[in-house]
Amino acid sequence: MTNPAAYVVYSSTERVRIRIPEKRGDLDYFVNLRKVLTESFKDSHLQLNPTTGSVLFLNGSFKREKLTAIGKESRLFNLERDPDHLETLAQRVASPLSDTSRNLDILSGGKINLPELLFLGLLATGIYEIVRGNFRTPPWYTAFWYAFGVFSKSMIEKELGDRRPSEAASN
Q: Are residues 160 and 115 in the same domain?
A: yes
Higher pLDDT, 158 or 28: 28
- Within 8 A by CB and 6+ apart from 149, the residues are none
Q: Is the dihedral of CA 102, 105, 107, 110 positive or negative?
A: negative
Band (26; pLDDT cuts 50, 70, 90): very high
- Which among 65, 68, 31, 73 has a CA at the least distance from the CA of 48? 31
Percent of the chain with pLDDT over 70: 78
Residue 122 burial by Cβ neighbours in a 10 Å radius (0-12, 13-18, 19+): buried
pLDDT of 168: 42
pLDDT of 115: 81
Q: Are residues 9 and 66 in the same domain?
A: yes
pLDDT of 30: 93
Q: Would you say residue 163 has pLDDT above 60? A: no
For 120, the enclosing helix (H) or strand (E) is helix 114-131
Q: Which of 44, 68, 85 is the last residue of a domain?
A: 85
pLDDT of 169: 45
Q: Are residues 80 and 48 in the same domain?
A: yes
Average pLDDT over residues 146-150: 80
Q: Are residues 127 and 79 in the same domain?
A: no
Q: Are residues 19 and 78 in the same domain?
A: yes
pLDDT in tens, 51-105: 999 999 887 666 778 888 988 999 999 988 755 555 566 666 666 777 787 888 8
| Residue range of the domain that includes 72 | 5-85
